[in-house]
Homo-oligomer: A and B are copies of this chain.
C-alpha cells in the first residue's frame, strides 16, 4: 500500500499540530509541511512577552519544552515530517490534487501531490488604507519578523513614544510590552472601550488600570493619517486633527482569515471570510481539511459560525484535522464559547460565553446579569479584588462570565468556562464544590458569590443597578438618595462624591430617620463591594421602603472618578 500523502499548508500552531497528530497516527504517511515564514511552530502568543522583556532568549519562542528548536531538522528527525520553510503555496489544484509552491528567496517552483490537504494559513492583520501606513515605524505584532523588529526597538532605546492603534487583545499586550520597555504608549481605539469581549463597565476598569500604569488610552477616536519625515514615522494624526508624536506605531485593529488560497481554489468561504468547515474540520472538498485562524467554527452557545482566532483553539482544531486526515472522519470539533484571557500589567481580564452586549445584539430576551466585586482570597492571605459579571438566560443557565482585576482571574474564567460547557445553571453554581484553602480562594469562591448575587436578583431579593446606569442618572440630573454603608474611616480614605450619605451598616437601623421621608423615593445603596449595600437594601425593604436598589459591585466596580479625604 502506498503511504498516504499529506500536505499541510502552514507550520505555526494548527498546521504543526495537525502534522504531528497525523504522524502519531500513521507512522508511514508521507507528511509535508509548507511554511512561508522561515520559522516553524512559533509560540506566537508569546511575542509580546519577548518584546516586553519578560524573557530575552528569542529561541524560547521556537523551542520544545526540552529546549530543542523546532526547525526543519527537528521536524525531520523527531517527527519524520518534511518541513519546507520559506516556501509559499501559490495555488491548490483540486482536480490534480496538487499544491503549487515557490521558494520565497530562490523563486524555485514545484508542485506536490497530496491525498489529503490541510490548510492552516492563519490570519493576517487588518490594514486599512490609512495614508502613511507604509512609513518605516508602522508595524503589526503578528509575526516573528514583527517581533524581532519591536524587540530591536526596545533594545535600541531610541523610541520615546509609541502609538498602538487598537485596544483589543494584541493592542493591550503590545501596550504593556512597550510601556514596560520604557516607551510612553498611547492606545487609540475607535470604539468606546478597550477589550471588546468585555462589557463597557469592566473594560473601563481595565482602561483605568492601564492609565494608572502610565499608558494613555484614547477611546472613541480613529486614526486619520500616519505622519512622517523622510519615509519614517513621526506621528499619528487622529480624526480630530490631534497629532500624537511617536517613532513607532503598532497596528492592532484585528485580524482576518488568510483564506485567499482556499477561495481561489473554490472552497466554500463563510461570512467572516474564513474557510467553511464541518464538525470534522473538513472543507467543502472532502480531501481538504482546514484548521486555525483561517477557518470559521461554531459558537457553541448560538450555533452560528464565528471567527475565533485563538491559539488554543488553533491547536485543538489542528489535532482534529490531523486525525481525520489520516483516519477518516472520526473526531469532531465542537466550536468555541469565546473563552479568552489577557494580562494587562498586573491586572488580568478574561471572558467566556456571552457578554451583555453580545446577548443584546443576538436578541436574547429575559437574561439577567450580576456584577460581583469581591476578593480572590481571604484578606490575611493578601486578597486582591476581582470584579466580574455573570450573565444567565431566562432558564438561569450560565451564558457568560467576564472578570477583571489584580486577582486570580485565570481560575475564575476557567471555572466559568467549564460551567458554561457543562450547561450549568445558577442553582448548580450556588452550591458548587470548588477547591478552597486560604492561599487559593475565599471560603466562598468569587464565582460562587457571583451566582449567589444572581440568585438574589432572580428571587427578587435584590434589585441591582449598574454603575453606568447610576452615572447616567446623575448626568441626567436625577438625584436619588445614595446610601454609602461603609465605615467613616473607609469613607475618609475614598468616596464617590456623588452626593451620597454615609450611614454605616451597623448604625442604619437606628438612623432610618435620615432617609427620605417618602418611602417610595429612590434609594441606591452601596459599599466597597455592595455586600453591605445588599444588607442595607434588605433592612430598608423590611421597613417599607419600596424603591431601593443596590449599586452592583459597589465602589470597586465604579469606573469613574472618586474623591479622597
Contacts and interface: CB of A to CB of B under 8 A. Distances in A.
Interface of A: 13, 23-25, 27-28, 43, 45-46, 49-50, 54-55, 57, 60-61, 63, 65-68, 74, 77-78, 80, 169, 300, 310-316, 319-320, 333-343, 348, 350, 352, 375, 378-381, 383, 408, 410-411, 413-415, 417-419, 421-424, 428, 430-441, 443-445, 448, 452, 461, 486-487, 490, 505-507, 509, 527-529, 532, 534-535, 538-539, 541-543
B444 A312 contact: yes
Tell me the number of copies of this protein. Answer: 2
A312 B311 CA distance: 35
- Most B CB contacts (10 A, CB to CB) among A28, A46, A419 go to A46
Contact of A45 (B24, B43, B436, B486): B436
A112 to B, nearest CB: 22
Given A65-B375, A418-B422, A316 B434 contact: no
- Most B CB contacts (10 A, CB to CB) among A45, A74, A169, A443 go to A443
B417 A433 contact: yes
A436 B542 contact: no
Given A410-B441, A443-B45, A444-B315, A436 B343 contact: no
A320 B431 CA distance: 9
Contacts of A57: 380
Contact of A316 (B67, B413, B431, B490): B431
Given A13-B443, A435-B340, A378 B46 contact: yes
A437 B343 contact: yes
Contacts of A314: 443
Contact of A436 (B310, B435, B443): B310
Nearest to A68: B487
Nearest to A424: B422
A534 B79 CA distance: 12
A380 to B, nearest CB: 4
Contact of A490 (B25, B66, B337): B66
A417 B445 CA distance: 13
B50 A342 contact: no
A421 B421 CA distance: 11
Nearest to A317: B431
Given A74-B506, A419-B418, A54 B381 contact: yes
Nearest to A316: B431
A341 B435 contact: yes
A543 B444 contact: no
A440 B66 contact: no
A336 B343 CA distance: 33
A115 B378 CA distance: 34
Contact of A383 (B65, B311, B319): B65
A140 to B, nearest CB: 18
Contacts of A77: 505-507
Contacts of A315: 443-444
Given A27-B542, A348-B440, A375-B65, A380 B43 contact: yes
A380 B311 contact: no
B45 A437 contact: yes
Contacts of A316: 430-431, 444, 448
A232 B310 CA distance: 63
6 contacts: A45-B436, A60-B379, A312-B433, A316-B431, A335-B433, A422-B428
A348 to B, nearest CB: 7
Contacts of A437: 45, 169, 340-343
B46 A380 contact: yes
Contacts of A435: 339-341, 350, 352, 410, 413-414, 417
